[in-house]
Structure 1
Amino acid sequence: MRFACVGGGPASLYFAILMKRQDPAHEVTVYERNPAGATYGWGVTYWEGLLDQLRDCDPESAESIRAASVRWHGGIAHVGERTTAHDGDSGYGISRHRMLAVLAARATSLGVRVAHEHPWPSHGPLPDADLVVAGDGVHSALRERFARHFRPTTVAGRNTYLWLGTTRRFDAFTFSFVETPHGWIWCYAYGYDENRSTFIVECSPETRRGLGLDATDEAGTLAVLTRLFARPLQGHPLIGPAGSDGQARWQTFRTLTNERWHQDNVVLLGDAAHTTHYSIGAGTTLAIEDARALAAALRDEPATATALRRYEQQRKAALLTAQSAAHYSAQWYENLPRYLRLPPAHMFALLGQRHSPLLPHLPPQLYYRLNRATDHLPALRTLKRRLAPHLARLTHTPDRRPDEPRTLPDPPKVGAAPPRR
């Protein structure tokens, strides 16, 4: 078969690798609009589970990705002058540039053609291929071409965020919550190479305006944020994106879903099909899982149409847990003042529980005590496990239109206006 992958991100490149491994006679081309080596973002974080999946499918690229990654261990949260730590979790960080270089090199070695500086517009003829894989990201031109069929829906979050880097290498996944006269502002930081880390800053729109960051250029914004986050930065600078035009690119996260994932010989993959809030750190893992599922369906099903239906059904079902976790994680941060007055250890525990659909509907301290009690009361643990999916279904449907009400109301906001969800 002939495959054309539009977009040169991890999902497209990994799908190309898998198809050439399944049958070297396949003709696979990846079309990427940017020059070789050009990419956005800083680092990608992932966990051991992703490496296990990569080893199952292509041990060579798995080992190359692991070798190009750094480890982080545990978590640290600074809340004002207080600090608490958690030793349980560990994961990996890798620069997005290095990950793409590893996957592109592996794909090329297998006979995949990777064509850079080759944008595919939202009009004109499609690539000449048996299957066109739309892996061109959240702003997918191919998806928009067939938007009436795919029926994409985007739901905007409330908070604003800014994606930055720093020369400080964080050896633990680090959170820092800073209270200002205009509300709380916070960061997530994790290392991705020997002397760089990703540094994501988030706050409410009111806090951003109050700090004057809505009317400040990039240099001024970095100066303010460097002062606010002096404690975790320890003298290291913040770095804006390469090729910046001098403006600070604050964004509002938009959760994307699609009613359908394929039409004729065009199929959606990765961020073109779905997005999940960055606070759960799952975007790259989910994109790789899409590639695995699509390749497996094409291998096992004799008819392409049947394979695409199977792929869509499997991935939609598999994504429900991640989409629910992302929804509640984003909502936790939108309700941040509700939790930051707790003792540090309690706040950190609820930070780890932020994916729970029960948490927004119980007083934080009550939830904390109940969650602790589940360690000793099996019946309570069973009740919590059974109740959570029902609340999740009632309060969050990934394909819900922005104007559709939830069955249960949102939890009360503390120190913040209602969300625009």
Structure 2
Amino acid sequence: MAGVDLGPFPDLAGFDRAAALDADDPLAGWQDAFVVAEPDLLYLDGNSLGRLPRAAVDAVEDVVTTQWGHRLIRSWNEGWWDAPTRLGDLLAPVVGARPGEVVVSESTSTNLFKLAVAAVRARPGRTRIITDDLNFPTDNHVLAGVADLLGDGVEVVTVPSADGIHGPVEELLAEIDDATALVSLSQVCFKSGYAWDVGQVTRAAHAAGAMVLWDCSHSVGSVPVDLGAHDVDLAVGCTYKYLNGGPGAPAFAYVRADLQDELANPITGWWGHDEPFSFDLDFRPASGIRKFHVGTMPMLSLLAAEAGIAMVAQVGIDAIRTKSVALTTVLVDLVDEHLAPLGFALASPRDPDRRGGHVSVSHPQAWGITRALVEEGEVVPDFRAPDVVRLGLSPLTTSFTDVHTAVGRIADVVRGDRHLAHADSDLSVT
């Protein structure tokens, strides 16, 4: 799709070309499966919070009115208790895992903590956790907490990116040695959208005797993960971005089958007990992926997430990735042609193999531009400090005409200096 000609911008010829791409899009019909309350608003923030699936509305109504309202506590034996592993098996093919290797449970940060502690403890005598500075900051905070908790010289080595966009591949690989217990990275980096080569890093870690833990929050549902194909040890990820699971929906944890008995969950809660309803004071871990449970799951949000996961599983990650690459390539071309002259710079990789599902652009007045777009009801992107506007393109909900029109609206805001009136906007969530 590189070099796709959308015609002169922003006239009707260009829009018609984008419409032609939509007409040839095999995934276009899936947009009708989502709630769109404001048809004129271009929502390009599915990399933060995915749209609401219509099926999730029906699912939540059933959970509230029938399962909770009528069946009450009987619902635990009518699907609630097994829901985390059922959803895990539904998600497994999306991430290239086998049944019994994924559980939807707790938050991403909690799952990261559990699996990082388990991994480092499984490599006694090794003291290094390797990551990079493009990782999601919370992941680095969690890893630092893991090192502090475990003590005995355990340290986090954070390898810096040279340009703040691309992963420091050679530098990171050079840091992996026989003192490394764990390598932990985001498969797709949250700010720039850089996509690591999962196989390359995993092979390097294994060659040194280390384990690897991938955060797939910004990739799952948009980019193939292929955990099994790459022999990945551990992975975590959220369900509320490209999986459209809902705000704060429970995350997932993946533990390769042959490691499930070897690794110990450091948070021993009753849902991970072998016989939770024996109420035994002595903890005995469950076998398999269930041992990585901790506490009671929030059923309303857990079951709301099922619709989005099922949809992505039905469409298939390969078809989703094909459209994702096409959308981001068209956007990169439009940025070069129409936004670069207005002071924007591409802040994502140009190589589609190294780019996830969102495209970032930098601008000295990125904050005011973002707020002008949102507050004037034009486009919903998001802002990442200090100067990045992120444009998330969700293949099931974003069209080529959305991309074309969004670039036009961004350009209009800057040409008209409308962003200057929003430079002092003050919000907690950006």
What TM bracket, shorter-length normalisation?
A: under 0.3
More strand by share: 1
Taking structure 2 as the reference length, the TM-score comes to 0.27
Taking structure 1 as the reference length, the TM-score comes to 0.27
Instruction: Name the structure, 1 or 2, with higher relative contact order (CA <8 Å, separation 6+).
Output: 2
